[in-house]
Amino acid sequence: MTVTIYDVAREANVSMATVSRVVNGNPNVKPSTRKKVLATIERLGYRPNAVARGLASKKTTTVGAIIPDISNIFFSELARGIEDIATMYKYNIILSNSDSKKENELQLINTMLEKQVDGILFMGGNITDEHIQQFKTSSVPVVLAATYDSSNEIPSVNIDYELAGYEATKDLIENNNNQQPAIVISVPDAPVNKLKYEGYLRALEESNIEFSEELVITVDYSYDGGITAAEKLLELEALPSSVFVTFDEVAIGVIHGFQDRGYNVPEDIQVFGFDNTKLAKMVRPTLSTVVQPMYDIGAVAMRLLTKYMNKEEVTDKNVVLPHRLEKRNSTTSN
């Protein structure tokens, strides 16, 4: 049926070891026999069986990627970064969605390990001790992408969320006469979001702004969550002059929530987002936001993982990529 290395060996009058050498680019093969082998491979349409190879070599050139939700624009960009670098290094990706549920995550890690992946790229919300435990006892390296582990035990690639939150808030404060910006938080339990909030608080503190709790709004991580947030903000006695929204998609909902009720952004209220997904340029007014380089995070995380898989030396185990503020029209009246 399927043609094996053994068939090729027989047809080419060499041993299977030689065929294996040719297939794997081992230099210890006489050019003439290499040519002969290559010819019969071509003739028979031989295609190496990666599963058999994996069993014999204990390497599958496959890595597992556990991601909350690939249909989320943030993660799909991240995934693209991962994929591109993986391809560059000849790895394939087994991609699975966890919906950020611990149970799914732990289960998926196990499945990936069963499939003998050479490494795991993990994206998630909350890293629990159980996660850490599983990562540390894993037989293959694990790298976290856009996922914060406060213990810093697991290699990771992130931006400085606290600083980013601080800077965005600071910008809003400075442009609004030292008034407290509101903040719209989603998935408040996820450490990265806590960090954004901490940055927000630090900025308030530094500007000696008296903190009003009612300006902290928690809503779903969704466009509709943003609409809801706008409604909540409009129910307050006084509309704050600005709002920091911790996800672009939610921020766009906030903008439209205001606009649909006759308010103008940025005139009535300025809106600052977070992530710089491509959505940020696809609204009117365009969204000022914190640039988080999703693609790069994915790419760098994958690169880092290859280093671990190849047992290369790693100097920087917890990579912090630069971020910046991109000011657009949702904060700038012009």
φ, ψ dihedrals at 53, nearest 5°: -60, -40
Q: How far apart are the C-alpha atoms of 136 and 124, rounded to whole Å?
A: 17
Q: Which residues pair with 142 in a beta bridge?
A: 120
Q: How far apart are the C-alpha atoms of 174 and 67, rounded to whole Å?
A: 37
Pair of tokens at residue 176: 């609004």
Residue with tokens 């903000």: 233
Q: Smallest gap, in angstroms, from Cβ of residue 10 to DNA? A: 10
Q: Which of 71, 208, 315, 334 binds its own copies (CB under 8 A)?
A: 71
- Which residue type does 241 have? S
Give the per-residue SS3 of 1-23.
Answer: CCCCHHHHHHHHCCCHHHHHHHH
Residues 6+ apart with CB under 8 A from 323: 159, 160, 163, 164, 290, 291, 292, 293
Please name the helix (run of DSSP H) or strand (run of DSSP E) that holds residue 322, with its range, or none. none
Q: Which of 33, 111, 207, 218 binds its own copies (CB under 8 A)?
A: 111
Q: How far lies 179's CA from each of 203, 239, 243, 270, 273, in Å?
A: 11, 11, 11, 12, 18
Binding partner at 162 among its own copies, DNA, none, C-beta below 5 to 8 Å by kind: none
- Which residue type does 65 have? A
Q: How far apart are the C-alpha atoms of 334 and 328, rounded to whole Å?
A: 10
Q: Does 256 bind its own copies (CB under 8 A)?
A: yes
Binding mask 267-306 for its own copies (x = CB under 8 A): -----------xx-xxxx----------x-----------
Q: Is the dihedral of CA 325, 328, 331, 334 positive or negative?
A: positive
Q: Smallest gap, in angstroms, from Cβ of residue 1 to DNA? A: 7
Q: Which of 17, 39, 52, 320 binds its own copies (CB under 8 A)?
A: 52
Q: Which of 7, 69, 198, 326 binds its own copies (CB under 8 A)?
A: 69
Stretch that binds its own copies, among 70-78, 123-131, 145-153, 201-209 (CB under 8 A): 70-78
Q: Which residues of this chain interact with DNA, rule CB under 7 A?
A: 1-2, 4-6, 13-18, 20-21, 23-24, 27-30, 32-34, 46, 48-49, 52-53, 55-58
Specify the residue, 94 or 163, whose C-beta has the smaller distance to its own copies.
94
Specify the residue, 182 or 283, whose C-beta has the smaller distance to its own copies.
283
Binding partner at 282 among DNA, its own copies, none, C-beta below 5 to 8 Å by kind: its own copies
Q: How many residues bind its own copies (CB under 8 A)?
A: 50
Binding partner at 34 among its own copies, DNA, none, C-beta below 5 to 8 Å by kind: DNA
Question: How crowded is the C-beta side of 186, counted as CA atoms within 13 Å?
Answer: 23
Specify the residue, 114 or 313, whose C-beta has the smaller distance to its own copies.
114
Q: Give the interface with its own copies as residue ranges (CB under 8 A).
A: 2, 47-52, 54-55, 60, 62, 69-73, 76-77, 79-80, 83-84, 87, 92-97, 110-111, 113-116, 139, 223, 249, 252-253, 256, 259-260, 278-279, 281-284, 295
